[in-house]
Structure 1
Amino acid sequence: MVTTRTVEYEVDGETYQGLLAVPDGQGPFPCVMICHAWAGRAENEDKSAEKIAGMGYLAFAADVYGKGRRGSSTEENQKLMEPLVSDRTGLLAKRLSASLETMKAQDEADASRAAVTGFCFGGLCALDCARGNLGVAGAAAFHAILGQQDKPQAGDIEAKVIAFQGYDDPMAKPEDQKAFADEMTARKADWQLHLYGGVMHAFTNEKANDPDFGTVYDAQASKRAWDGFARFLAELFG
């Protein structure tokens, strides 16, 4: 049985609202933060939090836009995302850090065992948590934007990193995949990159059905990625 509750927190005087999903049993539990896609925290992230809690981990669907700030069109989504993508080591990192600390502060959370995951823009966020060494043991990204930060950081990446990508993703092309592999290697990360042939962007999202835009759901790739993610968490937390 999984129980859920909303959790509000503040960054620079602005209110953010995440969803906490807690598994049945005796905590504290290893915890996993879910970073949302470019529309903001929505049904997909909340369902993913419940799914991860069903695997035995505390899960927190975070919010980096602000309470009630959500997009409903490409233009609105872009407008919400752009300020954060333009300042990944500053504004975005601050909001991600606050979200992680909020998750770790929950009574049911084992703050010493934390991981992060995310989808699309949220995948970029998850990878940036690893790039910035923000206090996670592992970072897993689903169909992420793979590009490096605006101010690429140096030093070893402490978290284990895994990315699940469609080879035909127009938002993370083969040259981006190669650059990501080179970046992770240069920073001595324990990293994995899983590529799925014939698969496009947003392949875990059942509502994705826009081949012209490059976002198409793929049930087989989604299952393979989620299975790989489950193994990754088991390796992290035992």
Structure 2
Amino acid sequence: MNRFVLTWVMCCFPLTALSAVVGEEVVYQQGDTRMKGYLAYDDAIQEKRPGILVVHEWWGHNAYARSRSKQLAAMGYTALAVDMYGDGKQADHPKDAGRFAGEVKKNMETASARFQAAMDLLSVHQTVAASDISAIGYCFGGGMVLEMARRGLDLDLVSSFHGSLPTSTPAAKGVVKAEVLVFNGADDPFVKPEHIEAFKAEMDQAGVKYSFTNYPGAKHSFTNPEADKFGNKFDLLLQYDPSADKQSWQALTQALDGIYGK
């Protein structure tokens, strides 16, 4: 590149615009289980920043979870797409996805330990302010981050996107440390009105700072551009909703900005 072109590029595009998000495969351990995650951050940022855990859908740790991590990294966070199944395991059929998710859900002590292992990995990364950790999750992952909040993990904010709401261990008053955001599709067949009522009552009784947003017409997996493909292939009521996706991400962005002063 000649000097004139280089000067033009630097004038028209600030150095911050030229910075690139770094994505790294990471391997960590929980007991005898090897976990395969994906860490994303902007290496042009010098100061330490908040860390965000991203928990995958029931399909497992896949490209979608990684894409959300990179999105958060571009916003100035360090994000870790976690592995809740172990060894980076993924499903390509709903039966397998349901089995993988069910195995985790039936042993919440193990699930909590796996989440904590990811949280520990993220908090000691050289780019992360260890006391500033939040978590988001999708579908299975949305329900999972809500469970971690119920257990009182030291999280600033927890956000569930089209996640499950029922629990066998409701939040106790004074235990939940995180602010809780729930983004739900009003036409999601997997989330019943009674689930919503019970969740709101639970949060109110426990004194949790929370918000619940229902997007009219939105179905399950409304944030995932691949939802229609999976839905059509397996005859599942999944559908991407660009408007609900955009609105929910903007709401998350504003909430994070409010907490971390960006």
TM-score by length of 2: 0.87
Return the letter of the residue paired with 1:67.
D
Q: Give unmatched runs, 5+ long, in structure 1.
A: none
Higher helix share: 2
| Aligned position for 1:222 | 245
Q: Which runs of 4+ in 1 moved over 4 A?
A: none
Aligned-CA RMSD value: 1.2
User: CA offsets per residue over residues 177-229 of structure 1, 9 Å max, x none?
Assistant: 11111111111110000110111100001011227522110001100001101
| Aligned position for 1:3 | 22
Return the letter of the residue paired with 1:28.
K
Q: Give unmatched runs, 5+ long, in structure 2.
A: 1-19
Please give the residue correspondences for 1:1-238 in structure 2 after superposition, counting only pairs within 5 Å: 1-23=20-42, 24-88=44-108, 90-148=109-167, 150-156=168-174, 157-209=176-228, 210=231, 213-238=236-261
Contact 2:170 2:202 in 1 (8 A): no
Q: Shift of residue 6 of structure 1?
A: 1.2
Return the letter of the residue paired with 1:144.
G
Distance 2:201 2:103 in 1: 27
Q: Shift of residue 152 of structure 1?
A: 3.2
Distance 2:88 2:28 in 1: 13
Q: Shift of residue 136 of structure 1?
A: 0.6
Contact 2:171 2:202 in 1 (8 A): no
Return the letter of the residue paired with 2:102.
E
Distance 2:37 2:209 in 1: 29
